[in-house]
Amino acid sequence: MLKNLLITITAILIFGIIRLPLQQHLIEEETKAQLLTEQMNLNADEMLEQQLSVISLGGLRPLIAAILSMDAFDCFMRSDWHQLEKRYNQITALAPHSNFYWDNGSWHLAYNAASAMLDNTNLTPMERHEGFKKYIQTGRKFLIDGIRYNPTNWFLYNKLGDLYSDTYRLPDFQKAAQAYHQACKLGASYRVARKEFYSLARVPSKAAEAYELGKKLYAVKAYRTPSMINILFALENRLNLPESQRIPFHELYPTAEEAREMLSAHLQNTLHYPIDGVRKKLDSLPRPATQQP
């Protein structure tokens, strides 16, 4: 049954491919005869729509998208990234309002394809790096295209923020913060607002903005995390705030032992969070009794 359906789909697609040049020729002739006032050129998206026009009239778009996604998975299994990208472009043209396809396509491109480029020993080091960068950018563009079709979808903005903020994927923390901010405006949960704060804190020019957002989140006890507390303390130092404008240190860290433990862990972070004043504060904390001379 599935085999017969695939054969039918292939026939329809071939019909569309054959039909397209004929339709383009007719458009050109009608333009010359002044039956059309402006020449129309069918772009790649329109070509795809022509190829799938019969299917769409039959209401089979979701079904065909699902079948093509199975083929896309096969492309993943055999590391055929070019064909995988082509398949997901077709899939999202058929089902442009499905979060799953935009998210999954972006993930395959920005993570699986990009990592495969780095691991490809048949490429030179420069080719590996360029391939890595290319597929990350392609994965980002995939989500941006998804947002263009779904401008009120906070989920896709959140995913875009996740990709921009990934420290192993050429991060752009300012763009990540912008994506998270838009997701929050569209109804995302406080967890996304916290990710916006973490991203802003890693943009030196946005320290004041990050601190204001962090204080709003900190005001709700349920939102407080060790990372948030440590970053707020570092931002206070970065901004050189007077004591009167800071969150009291004993409120951030109720005991010297907690302060030492949390700040020591934060000093070792590899996520590019600010660490301003952390080492100095650690050195000034009283040592445990067991370490007294």
How does residue 14 score in pLDDT terms, banded at 50, 70 and 90? very low
Mean pLDDT rounded to a whole number for the chain: 86
Whether pLDDT at 186 is above 80? yes
Comparison of pLDDT for 145 and 28, the residue scoring more = 145
* Rounded Cα gap, residues 263 and 74, in angstroms: 47
Q: What is the pLDDT of residue 54?
A: 46
Please write the tens of the pLDDT for every residue from 135-185: 999 999 999 999 999 999 999 999 999 999 999 999 999 999 999 999 999
Q: What is the pLDDT of residue 16?
A: 45
Please write the tens of the pLDDT for every residue from 56-87: 545 788 889 999 999 999 999 999 999 999 99
CA distances to 46, 115, 136 from 128, rounded to whole Å, are 33, 9, 12
Q: What is the pLDDT of residue 5?
A: 52
Least confident of 26-30, 112-116, 182-186: 26-30
Q: Taking the CA of residue 151 as centre, how many other CA atoms within 13 Å lie in the half-sphere pointing to its CB? A: 1
